[in-house]
Amino acid sequence: MVRLNDQQFANLLDELAYAAAHDLPLPETLDRLRDQRLGKVAKAAEAISERLKQGVALDDAIAIVDSPMTGSVQTALSVCRRTRDATHSVSHALDHRLLSRLSDHLRRRSHLSQLTRLAWAYPVILLLAAYAVLVGVIAPLVRNSLDANEIWAPWLNRMADFFHHNAWWPPIILVVVVFALAKLLRRRVFVSQPSRTSLFCASLADQLEVGVPESEAIIAAAKLSNQQEIIKGDAPKLSDAPTATLIRQATGIGTDIGPVEHTEGIVTGLRILSLQYDDKSHARQRWSTTIIPQIVTLVLGAGFILAYAYSVLRPIYLEVEQW
């Protein structure tokens, strides 16, 4: 297995999509990628090329990549291969479209991850700075004061004693929690429901446009977008909910009208709906990358200032006033 991050996997898919768009031999394309790139991308390209030369199908060969999106990519390639076999076509247009969409999604995931790390860096730094002040300044000040029990509140004395003897435990717990959250978020395929719905609509439109049977198209699009709940039975139809709800939302075509008669309108409507849900996904991401981190930063900063003023400066001022 070769572990690739989102950006590396997107680069690999771009090469596969380019080869599909120009009908280039995949082993030669991957060998060229191996020679031009360094690191894990070259290693993955070499491993996939070797498996292809052994007669393994591309959707099975790409399983060598360790990524949360590997299953979706395998589904896309499997659909494309079955479509070519069923229609006796040599065109790889569908491969190019689906792989390009997955590549774009991987890049959006990577960009969102970078924005999230940057947005939450300042609150974390602020929290660490406040903790350092607490352990290095406030706790020694309270413990070393004369008549500490008379000057400081009982809870402040207990807190100073606790951090004096257990100063390393909170940072260790914080590091463990952050590491666990990072591992959990890395395995998430999609960050939001609008993102999943956007990819479902786009991939379904791509398949319907090239003549993939609607049941196979719905199943593949649901697997691609990690929305297994959309699949109703062994042979889902466009007239079944919730797919029919999306089509009605996109085109106004009711479930009582045969969808095959309106394929062109359905494809266009699904593409427009995909863009609309993509906009909703960006709006939701703005909360996690901008608004919420700013609110947390404001609350932490104001809370630390007020807590320091009330619990430390106020007792000192009252003691000086009595002199």
pLDDT in tens, 42-55: 999 999 999 988 98
Tell me if 279 is assigned to some domain: no
* Confidence tier at 89 by pLDDT (50, 70, 90): low
Share of the chain above pLDDT 90, in %: 6
The full DSSP string for 107-139 is HHHHHHHHHHHHHHHHHHHHHHHHHHHIIIIIH
271 vs 198: CA distance, rounded Å: 9
Q: Does 42 share its domain with 120?
A: no
229 vs 198: CA distance, rounded Å: 15
Tell me if 107 is assigned to some domain: no
Q: Does 130 share its domain with 237?
A: no
155 vs 267: CA distance, rounded Å: 65
Q: Does 175 share its domain with 202?
A: no
Beta strands, E only, the chain? 2-3, 65-66
Q: Does 90 share its domain with 8?
A: yes
* Confidence tier at 282 by pLDDT (50, 70, 90): confident
Tell me if 135 is assigned to some domain: yes
Q: Does 199 share its domain with 184?
A: no
What element of type H or E holds 256? none
- pLDDT computed for residue 90 by the predictor: 45
In this structure, what are the phi and psi dihedrals at residue 193, rounded to the nearest 5 degrees? Answer: -60, -45
Work out the average pLDDT over 88-104. 73
Tell me if 221 is assigned to some domain: yes
- pLDDT computed for residue 92 by the predictor: 62
Work out the average pLDDT over 315-320. 74
The CA distances from residue 193 to 200, 221, 297, in Å, are 11, 14, 27
Q: Where in the sequence is the domain holding 162, given as residue range(s)?
A: 112-192+285-322
For residue 172, the SS3 value is helix
In this structure, what are the phi and psi dihedrals at residue 255, rounded to the nearest 5 degrees? Answer: -75, -15
Q: Does 186 share its domain with 294?
A: yes
* Confidence tier at 257 by pLDDT (50, 70, 90): very low
Rounded mean pLDDT of the chain?
81
Record the pTM: 0.75
Of the residues 60, 95, 130, which one is the last residue of a structural domain?
A: 95
Number of domains present in the structure of the chain: 3
Tell me if 277 is assigned to some domain: no
Tell me if 31 is assigned to some domain: yes
Q: Does 131 share its domain with 23?
A: no
Work out the average pLDDT over 151-159. 81
The CA distances from residue 262 to 174, 239, 240, 272, 306, in Å, are 55, 12, 16, 15, 64
Tell me if 186 is assigned to some domain: yes
Q: Does 203 share its domain with 169?
A: no
Q: 295 pLDDT exceeds 90? A: yes
Neighbour-count burial of 25, counting CB atoms closer than 10 A to its CB (0-12 exposed, 13-18 middle, 19+ buried): exposed
Work out the average pLDDT over 274-286. 86
Q: 173 pLDDT exceeds 70? A: yes
Q: Does 172 share its domain with 32?
A: no
- pLDDT computed for residue 255 by the predictor: 46
In this structure, what are the phi and psi dihedrals at residue 66, rounded to the nearest 5 degrees? Answer: -95, 100
- Name 65's bridge partners: 2
